[in-house]
Amino acid sequence: MKIIQGNIFTSSCQTQVNTVNCVGVMGAGIALEFKLRYPDMFTKYASLCEQKQIDIGKLWLYKNESYWVLNFPTKQHWKYPSKLNYLQRGLDKFMQTYKDKGIQSIAFPVLGAAKGGLSEDRVLNLMEDYLKDCTIPVEVYQYDPTATDDLFIQFRQRILESSDAELMQQSGLRKQAINKLSDALTDNSICTISQLSSVPGIGAVTLEKAFALTRAPVVQKQNSIFDLN
């Protein structure tokens, strides 16, 4: 198990771990970043929660052609703290199933230690106990608020290099929201998407609309068949 102080979204591991609750909300922290990055995954997750399929000790592996995300419940409800026995049940399940699921390398955050409120040292000790016999590369990321990632840099560049009029038209955001977002992105102390959500006036809806711009394909003018000779 390799402990890294940094940003989990810079990992080259095949699978990244997202910490979730069991009620279909990804409203803060690392879960919000996963939601913004992978909206199709969030839609499926919310549906599974409605069906009561997401629960403590049940891990849901979402696969895409370019990424795998292991959704790991660390809370019953987003309002309540994590518990060590929740982590134990999930880690036990992971160790039982990772080979059968085809997981070849994996990057974890420190489970339940940020929004979950657990002691980071206790969590790391617990993770080491469970993961020490894992036969694949395992990275555990300690959150570094100064560590950014390529997608955030791309997002900041897209917002700051576009005019207000372009952003309003493409995102549906109001000028006031765009101004708050632009002001925040000029602050060099803000290095991640989730940090933006703590800025007064920038909520999850604003981030969802703005972040969609980084996934939108570049619209190019195409010739009509009537223009061809």
For strands 68-73 and 15-20, give the pairing. Answer: parallel
3-state secondary structure of 82: coil
- Looking at residue 223, its pLDDT comes to 35
| Mean pLDDT, residues 10-22 taken together | 96
3-state secondary structure of 112: coil
Annotated catalytic, 93? no
Q: Where are the alpha helices (DSSP H) in 51-174?
A: 84-97, 120-131, 150-160, 164-171
Contacts of 28 (CB under 8 A, 6+ apart): 78, 115, 194, 197
- What does CATH list as the number for 2-143? 3.40.220.10
Q: What share of the chain is helix, strand, coil (3-state, %, to 5)?
A: 45, 15, 45
3-state secondary structure of 28: coil
pLDDT tens-digit readout, 85-129: 999 999 999 999 999 999 999 999 999 998 888 999 999 999 999
Give the integer Cα–Cα distance in Å for 97 and 95.
Answer: 6
Give the integer Cα–Cα distance in Å for 8 and 152.
Answer: 13
| Mean pLDDT, residues 206-211 taken together | 88
- Looking at residue 196, its pLDDT comes to 87
- Looking at residue 148, its pLDDT comes to 86
Q: Name the active-site residue from 35, 75, 115, 180.
A: 75
Q: What angle do CA 104, 110, 111 make, to 5 degrees?
A: 90
Give the integer Cα–Cα distance in Å for 193 and 180.
Answer: 14
Tokens, residue 88:
């134990």
- Looking at residue 216, its pLDDT comes to 55
C-alpha radius of gyration, the chain, whole number: 19
What's this model's pTM, rounded to 2 decimal places?
0.86
pLDDT over 90 for what percent of the chain? 61
Q: Which amino acid is at 17?
A: V
- Looking at residue 180, its pLDDT comes to 92
Residues 38/62, Cβ–Cβ less than 8 Å: yes
